[in-house]
Every structure is written in C-alpha cells, then in structure tokens.
Structure 1
Amino acid sequence: MEEILKQIALENGTTVSSVKREIEFAIHEAMNSPQSRATGFWDELTNDGKEPSVETVIAAIVLQVKNKMKS
C-alpha cells in the first residue's frame, strides 16, 4: 500500500503524508454523503460509524474493481 501512495505522491509532486491527508479528507466528506449508494459502501466498511483508514478504503475499492472485472 505504501508503494501505491508513494507513486501517487511522485506523480503529483507531493509527499506521501499529503496524499494520505487528502484521501482522509475525501473519506470524511464521502462518509457524510446522503446518497444511498455511498451510505451502503460505508456501512459495509465499518459497523461502528468511525472513519476507516486510507488503507482499508483503498483495499475495499480494489476488491470492488476486481469483482466487477470478473463479471
């Protein structure tokens, strides 16, 4: 996961910590979305209502993409 974040940082001329902060901000904003599709995604990732880690979100998205590619 760290290599992915490093690559993103490199491609965008920034630091890994900056990339993580931006993703954390995006997670925070997305978790507050009232859209039912978004709500369902976040409900699957967490059952306590707390924001999941950047790594958890990326892993879940990768899994979704893999599953869609299989079907």
Structure 2
Amino acid sequence: MTDSWLPSLLTPTPEAGYALAVKLSRTAVKLTQPSAEVRERVRSAYAEDFAALIAISHVVATNFQTVAAANGYWRS
C-alpha cells in the first residue's frame, strides 16, 4: 500500500488544523489544474481580484470546518 498524502484529518491543535485546511484547498487546485505552468500563468489574473480572494477564503473556511468537526473542535 502506498503512503497517502492525507492519512488523517486529525491534528493536535487548531493551528495545525488550519494549515491542513489550506493544504486541502491547495491540493484541490493542483488536482483540478495539474499543470504548474498554467497555474503560475493564471495566478496574476486572480492575485488582485478581490472577489476571487474572498472565494478562496471561503474554500479554506469550509475545509477548516471539516477538519474542526473531525477533531471534535479540539475539545476533550
């Protein structure tokens, strides 16, 4: 069996959970557009687009909700 890039949603802290949420979001982009050249080329198109940046924040927030729920919101 090969190693998984996502062995678990469990993280020790909320900060680690947020980092995982960002990684989930970035991985989704890489899987959707596998060409690094294309991703680099279009980056400038959304880098100053406030609506796109807000949309990106929403995706990360949604992924963070998932990670937080998986971790029982870091409550014992």
**TM-score normalized by structure 2?**
0.30
State the TM-score, normalized to the length of structure 1: 0.32
Tell me which of the two structures has the higher relative contact order, counting C-alpha pairs closer than 8 angstroms and 6 or more residues apart. 2
- Bigger-Rg structure (1/2): 2
